[in-house]
Structures are given as C-alpha cells and as structure tokens.
Amino acid sequence: MQPSPDRALPTAADVDAAAQRLAGVALRTPLLISPVLDALTGARVFLKAETLQRTGSFKFRGAYNKLSSIPPAERAGGVVAFSSGNHAQGVAAAARLLGMPAVIVMPADAPRPKRERTAALGAEVVLYDRAREDRQAIAQEIAHKRHAALVPPYDDALIIAGQGTTGREIVEDLAAQGLVPEVIAVTASGGGLTAGIALAVKARMPQARLYTAEPEGFDRVGAGAAVSDEEVAAAVAFAFRELKLVVEPGGAAALAALLSGKIDVKGKIAVAVLSGGNVDPELFYRLVA
C-alpha cells in the first residue's frame, strides 16, 4: 500500500482501535502447539489458527473493521467487494452482522461451494469472466451506481488494521505465557495480513523477525520463502493428521516453510499463521489421502 495525499498509512494505534471494534465479534483464535512439530523443526512452534475464525479465515477481521467504520448514516447503499473466496465471505458475514446490503463480484469459475457460501451469508453474487473482464472495474461501477462503499481485499488502511489484530493477539497470548516471539511466518498473498501483523508485532516486539511464505511462482517478497506444491501439500496433510485441522493450501504456506526448513527456526520461539481453511473438498481429499 502506497501513501497518497488523501490516504494515510495505517499505524499500530489503528490496529488497537480495530481490536476494540472486533472485541466480542471476531473470534480470538488459539495458538496451538504440537510436540511433533517442535521435534521436526527443533523449535518451540505455535500455530495461530485463523482457520477457526468466523467464515474460516482471517479475512473477517479486516472486513468487519472496514464496514463497522462506515458511519451509520452512510450504510444504506451497502458495500461492494471483489473476491474469489475468503474476502467475499468475510465481507458478506460482516455486512449481515451490521445490517448492510453486500454485492460480491466473483469469477464465474470460482468453486461452487465458495459462491454458495457467499450467497448463503446474504450477499448478492455478481459473476464475471476473469479472462475477459476486470473485476475491480465491475465492482467500482456497481458501487458508483448504488452509492455503496468499495471494500478492497487488502490495499486499505482499515482492512490492514483489522488483519493486524491477528498479530496483536499473538504477542499478547505469548506474553501471558511469559514468552516472546522471535520468528513469525505469515502467508503473504496480497500483503494485507503481513502488513497488519508487522504493525502490531513490531510496535510491541521490535526484535521479532517476520517472514513471508508463498507458493513457488507467486513469491515476490524479500525476506521470505517460496514453497513448492509438494511442500504445501505436506503441510496441509500434517495439519490434518497431527492437529485435526482443515487448512487450505494457500493458508498452509507458512507452516510449509517451517516444515521444509526454508525458514530456519531451530532453537527459537516461532509462530506460523494458518490463514484460512476454506478448501474444496475434492482437493482436500487428494492432499490428505
């Protein structure tokens, strides 16, 4: 996210404000441990299970923070978002809780369960052809016609601040055990989760090191790791077999980076964020079978 004259960058104080808005609404997801994982990595590892968050991913945090910040007098037009899955469901759920209409622009080839879950949360789903149409342009046109607020998936200060509450909880919950995180691994994706967690963690624990993890071919980050499809699949299977958690491939990248040794955490207190658990059932079966 780049600063501009009319758009300020988020701060750690914005994350704290988001935490107040989300209190009692978003789930405070647990930090899970696994002796097997500790033995494999030679570290003391905690897994931040955002797979257990409302709608199955961290995306609900940013969506609710964004929507709840819209003044009540301006909510009648509702909101418009563009997403193929997790952001769509997060915005739809937040809009329902706040009594706002929501339109979600989704690709026509998005998995049917994701489209159906988004609609079941009360949103109007508008499909587009991702090969020929621009989803953001479609969403902007709808927002203009309906006098609705556009809710981007990551490039927004309120979205980033909401996602940052994930990192705030990590620091607080480890501190309650007398522990300080030395390494935190986060799936990068659009960057909103990474940016938010960095804001929250660095304000409290500046010595902590943050690393991003992405599937090979999508790695465009500096201090991070690129994990193969095979390593991601192994992480999905590990989470299911050892932790009894369903984690989507994209949400397992940080765990894959630790398991593969691409982020070295030996002898350290480390955290990996499991960012989402919305996976197609057939794909999940193939990965864990």
Regions of the chain short of the pLDDT cut 50: 2-5
**Interval 116-167: pLDDT, tens:** 999 999 999 999 999 999 999 999 999 999 999 999 999 899 999 999 999 9
Residue 244's Cβ-side half-sphere holds a number of Cα atoms within 13 Å equal to: 0
Look at residue 224 in the predicted model and tell me its pLDDT.
81
What would the pLDDT profile of 7-39 be if each residue is shown by its tens digit? 678 999 999 999 999 999 999 999 999 999 999
pLDDT given for residue 5 in this prediction: 44
The reported pLDDT for the residue numbered 222 is 53
Provide φ and ψ at 103, rounded to 5°: -120, 130
Residues 6+ apart with CB under 8 A from 73: none
pLDDT of residue 71: 95
Catalytic residues: 59, 84, 214, 217, 219, 275
**So what's the pLDDT on residue 110?**
86
Looking at residue 9, its pLDDT comes to: 87
